[in-house]
Amino acid sequence: MIASERASRQVSDVAIVGAGPGGLAAAILLAASGASVDVYERQPQVGGRTRRLSLGDHHFDVGPTFFMMPYVLDEILAAAGRKLSDRVEMTRLDPMYRLLLGQPEGDPITLDTTQDLALMARRISTIQPEDGAAFERFIADNRRKLAAMTPLLRRPIRSVLDLVSRDALRAGPHLRPWQSLYDHLKGYFRHPSVRLSMSFQCKYLGMSPYECPELFSILPFIEYEYGIWHPTGGCNALMRAMADIAEELGVRFHLGRAVEKVEFEGRRAVGVHVDGSLHRHAHVVVNADAAHALRTLVPASLRPTWSDDRLDRCRYSCSTSMLYLGVEGEVDLPHHTIYVSRQYEQNLADIARHGTLSQDPSMYVCNPVPVDPSMAPRGTSSLYVLVPTPNVQPGFSKVDWAAQAPGLREQALDQLESVFGIRGIRGRIRAERTVTPLDWKAEGIQFGATFNLAHNLGQMLHRRPHHQLQDVDGMWLVGGGTHPGSGLPVIFLSAQITARLLCGRLGLPCALDQAPPSAARSASLRGWTSPTATT
């Protein structure tokens, strides 16, 4: 739409539904490109699942606590003439995280991960001597693999025709779609616990390494190549900085305003309904759980490709049960600690196939205060505790959350003591919030599947909902439900793809293309320092 047409209709170019990371990134890129943008968010604050939870003076990220590939976000801010390191203080973590690799008998194996690759290889060698050298080979192979895959992660994949390209042909030799990630790792590592240390990351997608496609071996590589970072104030600090930049660019935020449905004239989206009133917009970008948004915002008659029946038949990720704990005293744990169940295969089968809770669940604890004292009052700690669980899809889940949530809480507290070594945890709790999959579902997440649609081969690339939604005109998607998938870096990539496509429709040069990505990456990685790894 040319500028005169925009002015004559007197409507904003773009409505963005949801102020999560994808919506905020899209808002910045579109506004920096010259579009008029309104963002509607039903929560009273920005961030979506990356918002902040405060229990008194104890502060927590509600969802993501890992921040990787900061250069992807810096590319977006560079398009707006800003720099991430000017807005958010960042700390590169070393150890990146501690792994407690459960064993069938005896104590877990403890493995502190580091970007010092030689040191990491030595640490792995203490578990299995030859696996240290295999780690270095794994890193080198995945460096080439990610380089080959990156062009496919940065552009829309709308059909198999988009895979018939020079870039796809370059990526092809690095992919083995018939292999699971775990089976792929057998070609590198002898020790099962080392394989798990390089495959638990598929939990970021809500999947099992025994089912996750092998192409996701790039996930652990990304951690070792680009590091894991903590933004001071938590990942929500990134969201607040993005919102500030968006407002500087003229974006209008409507917080505490839930979009009830998208208005269509024929098959074209022409606005959104908020508080019973129609707000007209030339285009609507949806940054919400894709499956839930399609069912609730778009009439069934307008989405034959994504009918209710198809959405019901899709595979969905696992869910999570959360404890946000304000506790007395310091906690002697690294920033991120991950316990891998001693019955890992059974734990994954319970989550993905049986729909039940496990006797020995895997668990993740974030302890940010040693790095970031702003997250809790002096002399106390704020602990984020996550237990992967089944989602609540009807006919699958066998968990009665009203009856079983208290028992899972007790089990998690037991593990905090016995596995994570936090003594006397029950007597130290001063503030607490529990979240179950039913709470995630009530928040507008389909079946409480916190990592969105599963990333199996049948639901990747062009088989996910498209950035420009099929069957209708003027409606667009960003976020984990579209290509490339879940996780903050790839959600930011989805926003880049959608912004480029939508700028083309609006007749605007996309600001993203004015700053070379390599320059933004270099600036990003120069912007913060890394502590030296130690033994």
Question: Residue 242 in contact with residue 32, Cβ under 8 Å?
Answer: no
Q: What is the 3-state secondary structure (H, E, C) of 191-245?
A: CHHHHHHCCHHHHHHCCCCCCCEHHHHHHHHHHHHHCEEEECCCCHHHHHHHHHH
Query: What is the C-alpha separation between 376 and 374, in angstroms, rounded?
Result: 6
Q: Phi-psi bin for 53: left (phi > 0), alpha (psi -120 to 50), beta?
A: beta
For residue 163, what are the contacts with CB-CB under 8 A and spacing of at least 6?
A: 152, 157, 461, 462
Tens place of pLDDT per residue across the chain (535 aa)? 333 334 333 457 999 999 999 999 999 999 999 999 999 999 999 999 999 999 999 999 999 999 999 999 999 999 999 999 999 999 999 999 999 999 999 999 999 999 999 999 999 999 999 999 999 999 999 999 999 888 888 888 787 777 667 766 676 666 667 689 999 999 999 999 999 999 999 877 778 899 888 888 999 999 999 999 999 999 999 999 999 999 999 999 999 999 999 999 999 999 999 999 999 999 999 999 999 999 999 999 999 999 999 999 999 999 999 999 999 999 999 999 999 999 999 999 999 999 999 999 999 999 999 999 999 999 999 999 999 999 999 999 999 999 999 999 999 999 999 999 999 999 999 999 999 999 999 999 999 999 999 888 788 778 899 999 999 999 999 999 999 988 899 999 999 999 999 999 999 999 998 865 544 444 444 333 333 333 2
Cis ω for the linkage preceding 156 (within 30 of 0): no
Looking at the DSSP bridge assignments, the partners of residue 180 are: 213
Q: Are 55 and 327 in contact (CB under 8 A)?
A: no
Whole-angstrom Cα distance, residue 50 to residue 28? 17
Three-class secondary structure of residue 49 per DSSP: helix
Structure tokens at 211: 């089912």
Domain with residues 3-91+232-314+455-526, CATH architecture: 3-Layer(bba) Sandwich (3.50)
* Alpha-carbon dihedral angle through residues 151, 473, 276, 452, given to the nearest 10 degrees: -30
Whole-angstrom distance, CA of residue 510 vs CA of residue 502: 9
Burial class of 532 by CB neighbour count within 10 A (0 to 12, 13 to 18, 19+): exposed
Can you give the residue ranges of every domain in the chain? 3-91+232-314+455-526, 116-214, 318-450
Count Cβ atoms below 10 Å from residue 317 Cβ, excluding itself: 27
In 3-state terms, what secondary structure has residue 14?
Answer: strand
In the numeric block, the tokens 């958010």 are attached to: 88
The DSSP call for residue 353 is: I
Characterize the bridge pairing of strands 363-366 and 277-286: unpaired
Q: 110 with 98: CB under 8 angstroms?
A: yes
Closest Cα to residue 433, out of 43, 61, 89?
A: 61
